[in-house]
Amino acid sequence: MQQRIIVGMIDGFGWDYWELSEMPNLRRMVKENGHVTRGSAVFPTLTNVNNISIACGTWPENHGVAANSYYDAASNSSQYIEDSSFLTCKPLSG
């Protein structure tokens, strides 16, 4: 039987929050069914870059996303990266 794993990431959650805050519900979930570990952010420390690095299990140089947005010449504006068309590798899957 294949085991499922859920990886959660809380954006902007410094390790000092975990160490200094009670958070009874989060601590109960970890104690009953989970595991918590301190991770290191990739550079640049942007939400999309880090989340995609987790989802793909690789660095920005391999998955192709190094920013939260891109310049769209057609609209002459910055556009938020919201789909997988920018990836140069496949995400991990179960």
- Give the pLDDT confidence score for residue 94 in this predicted structure: 52
Indicate if 88 belongs to the active site: no
- Give the pLDDT confidence score for residue 20 in this predicted structure: 95
- Give the pLDDT confidence score for residue 86 in this predicted structure: 93
- Give the pLDDT confidence score for residue 79 in this predicted structure: 95
| Structure-token pair, residue 9 | 């990431």
Counting as low any pLDDT under 50, the low residues of the chain are none
31: left (phi over 0), alpha (psi -120 to 50) or beta: alpha
Q: Which residue of the set 37, 45, 47, 58 is catalytic?
A: 47
